[in-house]
Amino acid sequence: MAPAIDGRMRLVLDDFVACGGATTTDLVRQGQIAALDADTDVVTLSIGGNDIGWSQSVVACLGGTDAQCAGSLALTRGRVTGQLPALLDAVYDRIDGAAPDAHVYVTGYPRLFSPAYGAVLAASPDEQEALNDGADLLNATIRTAAEAHGYTFVDVTKRFLDHGVNAPEPWLLGPTSPGSFHPNARGYQAYAAAVTAAIRPSDLR
């Protein structure tokens, strides 16, 4: 996504240190925070989903029983409300310390499914709706934490509507693809457009 933003905004991209599958702990331990300094103008990041076992709930609903799906979703929702805010605050505090003058843009997560197009493996339309509700809860939690630090939350929900994994024109990789449930090329274009629209020229030095 960052190279696409770079091309759209004509920015000088100093570092692209994104890491797929990272948790908030990984963000600190793997040196991504160390890439920031007092001269950093803009930071973009997406974090939180891996901390709360989001992928486990998706797997449980795609391949498990109704009870396993419901149970996993309940655990995930509990982690979103009970654990994630403190984890996000800890990461955001580190960003504030490393790049005190940076404008930070935190991207949310899309809804993964388009229930109108029917079941995906074992996930019924109702279970897809429940997973989409979980994504909404995750986004609301991330937004609250981000805005408390003065960051800009970039919501991609509307951009991805009708482009879930089971839609005729999906913007996410399907469950049998490498990188499943991550954006495909069109999805990354949508993310780049959302972030580009959010960045203000006055944020750049």
The closest of 108, 153, 131 to 56, measured between CA atoms, is 131
| Residue pointed to by tokens 């609903």 | 61
Dihedral in degrees, nearest 10, Cα atoms 79, 162, 107, 45 = 90
Mean pLDDT of 197-205: 81
**Phi, psi at 176, each rounded to 5°:** -100, 5
- Structural fold of domain 15-191: Rossmann fold (3.40.50)
Look at residue 56 in the predicted model and tell me its pLDDT: 94
Of 131, 141, 132, 111, nearest to 47 by C-alpha is 141
pLDDT in tens, 52-82: 999 999 999 999 999 999 999 999 999 999 9
Q: Which range among 7-11, 96-100, 184-188 shows the weakest confidence by mean pLDDT?
A: 7-11
Residue 171 near residue 160 (C-beta atoms within 8 A): yes
Model pLDDT for residues 15-62, shown as the tens digit of each residue: 655 666 678 888 877 678 888 999 999 999 999 999 999 999 999 999
Q: In the chain, where are the structural domains located?
A: 15-191
Phi-psi region of 15 (alpha: psi -120 to 50; beta: other; left: phi over 0): beta
Residue-wise pLDDT tens digits, 170-183 = 999 999 999 899 99
Residue 7 has pLDDT above 70, yes or no: no
Tokens linked to 29: 């331990």
Residue with tokens 């709706």: 129
Contacts of 182 (CB under 8 A, 6+ apart): 20, 172, 173
128-163, pLDDT tens digit by residue? 999 999 999 999 999 999 999 999 999 999 999 999
Burial of 189 (0-12, 13-18, 19+ CB in 10 A): middle
Q: How would you list the strands of the sheet with 152-154, edge to edge?
A: 42-45, 103-107, 152-154
Residue 55 DSSP symbol: H
What is the pLDDT, as a whole number, of residue 23?
A: 84
Residue type, 133: D
